[in-house]
Structure 1
Amino acid sequence: MKIKNLFEDKKVVLSFEIFPPKPTSKIDTVYNTIEELAVLKPDFISVTYGSGGSMTSNRTVELSSLIKEKYDIETIAHLTCISSTQDDIKKTIDELKAKNIENILALRGDVPIDKVSGGSFNYATDLIKYVKDISDLGISSACYPEGHIENKNLDESIKIIKMKEDMGAEHFISQMFFSNDAYYDFMNRIYRNNIKSPIEAGIMPVTNRKQIERMVQLSGASFPYKFLKIIDKYENSPEALEQAGISYATEQIIDLVSSGIRGIHLYTMNKPHVAKKIVESIKPILDALNRSEN
């Protein structure tokens, strides 16, 4: 099933993200994670595509196929393009289709340190256009509620989302954020620019201090005062910080879906026990909202 069709069937879509193990680790180290997440019955699971060349690509395809075939859960395979040729992308698409995978998340990927990609694509928009031209895959893409870390101009960010939609993207997943007010401002801009594709809010439960430091470097997401108070209060108590982080993410989600946001994408960090606590708290609310749709 194409991801866009899930939003036609449900009022609120819930999905997870997982990542493959490092190329130096055995792939079966993530099997238990998938097993535990599958029990929570998400509408789909996305599988990231990190650095690491063909080994990482193969693992993304393998895990996406496992999720769909064994657990009957729809999946999105991440696909980055910055260092890929058209032949590389065509080969990966053929592998995905052979495994009955119908959806990809089209991403640029990290620019090489030397800033020389050696590939055929410079931006995610280039990848979206190419995939649309050569396949019938469902195309999702990323969006940035507070602007991209390389360009914080939100008006420019909205223009790029519209360009992605015009080129064939049918669904968007937002980068993580911690301020719902910032997200609502972003969605108001989306509506004003006549962007019609469903957009999922990306939520990451913060369970340790190192996560936060890395987020500052990678995302540029802003941290509300309430969030910072939680970190300062419990940073030296791992169990307390994990519980506080789960509670903060849960409150975010309840506020978002109660305000009409159509999708929640949970960045699980391959921690099913965290996802389980959140889903147990929000399930009655999601069930009530989705019943009201029928």
Structure 2
Amino acid sequence: MKVENLFREKRPVISFEIFPPKRDTELKNIDGTLEILSRLNPDFISVTFGAGGSATNNKTIALAKKIKQEYGITPIVHLTCLNYSKNEMDELLAELKENEIENVLALRGDRNPDIEPKKEFHYATDLVKYIKAHGDFDVCGACYPEGHTEAESIVADIQHLKEKVDAGATHLISQLFFDNNIFYSFQEKTKLAGINVPIEAGIMPVINKAQIERMVTLCGASLPEKFQCMMNKYENDKDALFDAGIAYAVNQIVDLLAHDVDGIHIYTMNNTKVAERICKGIENLI
């Protein structure tokens, strides 16, 4: 099923994000994770773009195929474009068509100082246009409630987001954030800009302080005072930080659901305990 149709059938949509294992042997052992996640009945699972970009060795597509064919769950495949040529992208799209995978999250991808970009795709919007012109795919886009780290301003970033939607992105998944008021303000700005597609709120539970600090450095998310207090208080108690982090994420989601958010996208980090605890915390609300 195309994810755009899921949003027509129900709100809120609940989805998970997972990443492909680095080794082929680990791909065979991921069934335990998928078995647990499937019992939580997500509307779809997105798979981040793994190492190795060709259609013959990309573990992202192999994992998405497994999710669809063995577990009956709709997958979204992340595709990045900055370091790939159009010929390489054609290989990937052909592989998706062959496996009847019809949902793609189109991303530019992070700049790598050690890799020279191919310069055939400059922005995610370029990839959205290309995918829409080369197959019957449903294309999703990323959005940034606090603005992309490379954007001149939040206003400029939302203007670029409008271009992405106009190019064919039918729904959006937000970068992680820890202050719901920032997300609500972002929603208002997108409406004013004429962006009317569903926007899922991306939630990353805090279970490891170092991991979160690294992610925040990469994506530029701000940390509310109560969030910092939580991390500082429990940073040396692994179990307590896990419980507090799950509670914080559940409280975020409860508030988002009360505000009729279009969907919740949970960054699971392939941790089934995270997904189970969060779904348990909101099971009577969805």
TM-score tier by shorter-chain length is: over 0.9
Deviation at 1:114, TM superposition (A): 4.5
Q: Which residue is 1:216 aligned to?
A: 216
2:17 is the counterpart of 1:12: no
- TM, length-normalised to structure 1: 0.94
Distance in 1 between residues matched to 2:32 and 2:17, nearest whole Å: 15
Q: Which residue is 2:247 aligned to?
A: 247
Q: Which residue is 2:195 aligned to?
A: 195
Distance in 1 between residues matched to 2:254 and 2:178, nearest whole Å: 13
2:103 is the counterpart of 1:95: no
User: Given residue 180 of structure 1, which amino acid in structure 2 is its aligned partner?
Assistant: N
2:269 is the counterpart of 1:269: yes
What do the CA deviations read for 1:189-222 (whole angstroms, capped 9, x no partner)?
A: 0111111111100000010111122112211100
Indicate if the aligned counterparts of 1:23 and 1:55 stay in contact, CA closer than 8 A.
no
Distance in 2 between residues matched to 1:205 and 1:55, nearest whole Å: 32
2:32 is the counterpart of 1:32: yes
Aligned residue pairs: how many? 286
What do the CA deviations read for 1:161-200 (whole angstroms, capped 9, x no partner)?
A: 1100111111110000000010000000011111111110
Distance in 1 between residues matched to 2:222 and 2:73, nearest whole Å: 33
User: Given residue 58 of structure 2, which amino acid in structure 1 is its aligned partner?
Assistant: N
Distance in 2 between residues matched to 1:136 and 1:24, nearest whole Å: 30
Indicate if the aligned counterparts of 1:146 and 1:152 stay in contact, CA closer than 8 A.
no
CA gap of 1:136–1:212, structure 2 versus 1, over 3 A, is: same
What do the CA deviations read for 1:262-292 (whole angstroms, capped 9, x no partner)?
A: 1000000000111101101101101xxxxxx
SS at match of 2:150: coil
Q: Which residue is 2:67 aligned to?
A: 67
Distance in 2 between residues matched to 1:262 and 1:227, nearest whole Å: 24
User: Given residue 182 of structure 2, which amino acid in structure 1 is its aligned partner?
Assistant: A
Q: Which residue is 1:143 aligned to?
A: 143
Deviation at 1:152, TM superposition (A): 5.7
Indicate if the aligned counterparts of 1:81 and 1:119 stay in contact, CA closer than 8 A.
no
Distance in 2 between residues matched to 1:177 and 1:194, nearest whole Å: 23
Q: Which residue is 1:291 aligned to?
A: none
2:47 is the counterpart of 1:47: yes
SS at match of 1:16: strand
Q: Which residue is 1:154 aligned to?
A: 154
Report the RMSD for the aligned CA atoms in angstroms.
1.5
